[in-house]
Structure 1
Amino acid sequence: MLAAAVLAVGIIWAVFNRNELRSDENPGIVAHDLALLWQWTDKLYSKGAANAEWTIRWDLEGEAADLERAEQQLQADEKGQKQGTLSIFPLNSDHQALLVFTTGQKADKEQLLAVVNRTEAILKKEGVSYSGGMTVRGKTEYNNAAERLAQAAGGKRVDRYKDESGTVSEAYYSEKLFSSVEAGAGKKANLQIAEHRETESGTLSLIVGTPLITGDYTVSEAGND
């Protein structure tokens, strides 16, 4: 199940775990986990966490009118953003939407935390329920980067998967992180780490997600210049 989640383009995990992870009822989840993930990965990425690609996502649920008002305020707030791009995607239901913030060329931890706080303040003001998480992608020079990260997080491994391309994905549960999702068999997970080595260049990519990775294993060159 966790391996399939890595390849999913959307946030399927959030749809099925909405009752398990409600950031609006537990303020500070995304900000707390972001600060920890930045700290743990800063020395692992080739040029530091600031040069990695950060994607923060929120799964939204609320009345159509509330979602619309929140969208308008978020779009207005985005005009002053220099950190990245904020996008809103409607889902199948009029009462649900996906909110994604992706960093540009260079990230800044304090500014990212400010984006999270402003975004969640707007969602709370409009009465929109939400759950959140993030994925970070970058190049690493450490062959044991995943092991180093799991050790820093004090993570207990709950799942491991290796595909035909040689990509290795492992899911852990860390008591240091606030988020978590059900991982089956009575287990929970909140940290997923994947390593992918490019066949031609030989470079090693480190992809990390809390509580799970969403999207694919692609690491954009722009985020690592």
Structure 2
Amino acid sequence: MVKNLKYLFKGSLALSAASLLFSCSTGYQLVKANRAEYNINKNLAVDSSIIKSYLPYKTQLDAEMNQILGYSEVEMVKSNDLPETVLGNFFSDAVLAEALKTDPTIDFSMPSTKGGIRVDVPKGAIKLSNIFELMPFENELIAFTLKGTDVQELINFIAATNGQPVAGIRLKIKNKKPVDVFIKGKPFDPQKTYRVLTSDYIAGGGDNALGFKNPIEKKVLGLKVRQAIINYVKANQAAGKTLNPKLDGRIVND
């Protein structure tokens, strides 16, 4: 009798579990849906509760972004048409100077393309917001050891695109090809290897950049492009210097 009750109890449990499983799996069905459109424009009434929610964060963000990092004696203007610009020189020199503190073996840099430099930098006070607008991306700096043939590919790209922001290298462009190339003051030698600084975006072929597919070695510096520029402006300010970048003929059309 006890044995029969035992089997009966197990059977009841199994039946209850099965019933619960099927009842849970039925779920709900959507029988009606309402849709409405809300136009967001100047006629939309102000929602004070939303403003109250975000205002403390906006106040803190504004205070941070309005910090003055340093000063510039000139306006730095963006241009995609010129082989060399004051803004491009500032950008590249700043990034290279800060990267050399981590890796002094770097020979030259192309930390961005002209398209990657987003806005002008004003004359006078340079705020943190100016640098975030100039470089809004989270790109990391990487130092590559490249064969001379790969460096040649990169130099060809620079010439074919009528110049890019560079530092530590000088060249002339003739019929969209590079001539008279000098790296750290010495003639470029395709038989040598070079240490080249760029961003992870450019290294991955961003903006169709060439030369970084088969590096001998690569080293992630743990420094973002934007942070390098911020550090550079702050360092000049701490040293009592104002920024005064100039055109120096590092890339010219022959």
Normalised TM-score (structure 1): 0.28
**Hey, which of these two has a bigger chunk of helix by percent?**
2
**Hey, which of these two has a bigger chunk of strand by percent?**
1
Normalised TM-score (structure 2): 0.26
